[in-house]
Chain A
Amino acid sequence: MSHLSFACRHRFPDGFELDVAFECDRRVTSLFGRSGSGKSSILSILAGLFNADYARVQLGDRVIADTDQKLFTRPEHRRIGFVFQDHLLFPHMTVDANLNYGAARESGGTDISYDRVVEVLELRELLGRRPGSLSGGQRQRVALGRALLSRPELLLMDEPLAALDEELKSRILVYLQRVIEEWHIPTLFVSHGQTEVRRLAEWVYVVDAGRITGQGRPSEALPDTRHDVEGGA
């Protein structure tokens, strides 16, 4: 599996400072923390959607960003799949076209077939529909399938369960577990919910006020409480 090495520093116009560095060599890693702690910005920098004052990103043996070397790999060349918090499905395309959008990319070694994704995420019935007619859970599954079909070397998920109610959360968690078990894609997800972090993540980085303040297995690193941290990323 691809080892991820990440470091960034950035000062936002409102004075908020992000200064983090971490490594991921587990299959599923979580960035856990309260709203506004900088978790989502980390994902954006990783995916190349946002230019930090300083960033160094190494995925496997590929350095895809290094500010010191003036190296910046464009998002389309990073091979990093992104499941956005609000899905960002293309509203003018059917589910089928959404899924196929990233499928044109050459395979990065991960063998992910369209039929298998449709089967695992139970999308067959939705293929001809447009995103506007889907429920939140269905959209989440399509967004996940679309990111998978771009055959990423690393999968990023920004609060994959934040917008869902409790019942839907547990159903989507099942799909996420299926995906993780089926394709073994290294996954980094942002969350403020302990339930999904405990169920999915093998390693957790606790992010607070733009810094990493703790790390470990979920059972060690998470606060000893059943309550989630308030607010989202």
Chain B
Amino acid sequence: MFNEAEWNAIRLSLTVSGYVVLFTLPLAIPLGYVLARKEFRAKWLVEVFLNLSLVLPPVVTGYMLLLLFQADAPVGRFLRSTFGIRVAFDWKGLVVAAAVMSFPLMVRAIRLGFQGVDPRLEMAARTLGARRTRTFFTISLPLAMHGVISGSVLAFARSLGEFGATVMLVSQRESTQTIPLLIYSMRDRVGGLDAIWPLVAVSILLAGAALAASEFLERRTRRR
């Protein structure tokens, strides 16, 4: 049903999405909590910066990422010389682009999860001798878990479909072809439009499965 290039694209898409969730979750959880609970002067600025990639054309976001991460840019040079990591025009760029594009969605869902937790429950925990960290991990986080699950699945699904920023940062290469990039490259081949269908079906299936899993887990967490 799938040729080798298509299998590679499916595997790469799933891997990239998995990495995106893995790397962004530890950042998104504290940020979602802070945005849900704290008031501070620069909060609006954080929100604007956070949500910028939701409203900017993805290619613009990709272009800015390229300016940051290309080999002769300060960040790109630093990563290369210090850690030996290359982001631009490499598969790691797929993760960076998808992470930047899906991060606001993840934070938004997690923030909503925390907003749904009665802050007085946290106060009750404190009067019982729990420090802030224990209160967070035993009360706030478990009660906001449906938001964390939603955010993770949304980020996963969004990463599977990421195209605009990715194509700017990583470009079209055989080794970095995710499902959307491969679909796009097949479009102009002879008989490409017909050959695209299996990948389109996989995209729909993966996105649908992710959302269904999110709904199932969310319901189960809420019931608990």
Contacts and interface: CB of A to CB of B under 8 A. Distances in A.
Given A88-B118, A90-B139, A91-B143, A150 B123 contact: no
B128 A105 contact: yes
A81 B127 CA distance: 6
A82 B130 contact: no
A132 B123 CA distance: 19
Given A88-B118, A90-B121, A76 B126 contact: yes
Contacts of B138: 101
B127 A101 contact: no
A47 B138 CA distance: 21
Contacts of A75: 123, 126-127
B95 to A, nearest CB: 33
A189 interface: no
A47 B128 CA distance: 11
Contact of A49 (B127, B128, B143, B224): B127
Contacts of A48: 126
B143 A101 contact: no
B11 interface: no
B60 interface: no
Given A88-B120, A92-B224, A74 B128 contact: no
Interface in B173-196: none
A46 B5 CA distance: 67
A74 B126 contact: yes
Contacts of A74: 126, 131
Given A91-B143, A92-B143, A105 B127 contact: no
Contacts of B131: 74, 76
B84 interface: no
B127 A47 contact: yes
Nearest to B142: A92
A75 B124 CA distance: 9
A13 B125 CA distance: 27
At the interface, is chain A mostly helix, strand, loop or mixed? loop
A146 B126 contact: no
A76 B129 contact: yes
B142 A101 contact: no
B126 A101 contact: no
A115 B123 CA distance: 26
A84 interface: yes
Contacts of B224: 92
B63 to A, nearest CB: 45
Given A76-B131, A91-B143, A92-B142, A101 B125 contact: yes
Nearest to A84: B124
A155 to B, nearest CB: 10
A148 to B, nearest CB: 11
B127 A150 contact: yes
B134 to A, nearest CB: 9
Given A84-B120, A88-B121, A88-B124, A105 B143 contact: no
14 contacts: A49-B123, A49-B126, A74-B126, A76-B127, A81-B128, A82-B124, A84-B120, A84-B124, A88-B118, A88-B120, A90-B139, A92-B143, A92-B224, A101-B128
Interface of B: 118, 120-121, 123-131, 138-139, 142-143, 224
Interface of A: 47-49, 74-76, 78-82, 84, 88, 90-92, 101-102, 104-105, 146-147, 150
The 10 closest A-B pairs by CB, nearest first: A102-B128, A105-B129, A75-B126, A88-B124, A82-B127, A150-B128, A49-B123, A76-B126, A76-B129, A75-B127
Given A90-B139, A92-B142, A101-B128, 4 more contacts: A76-B130, A76-B131, A88-B123, A105-B128
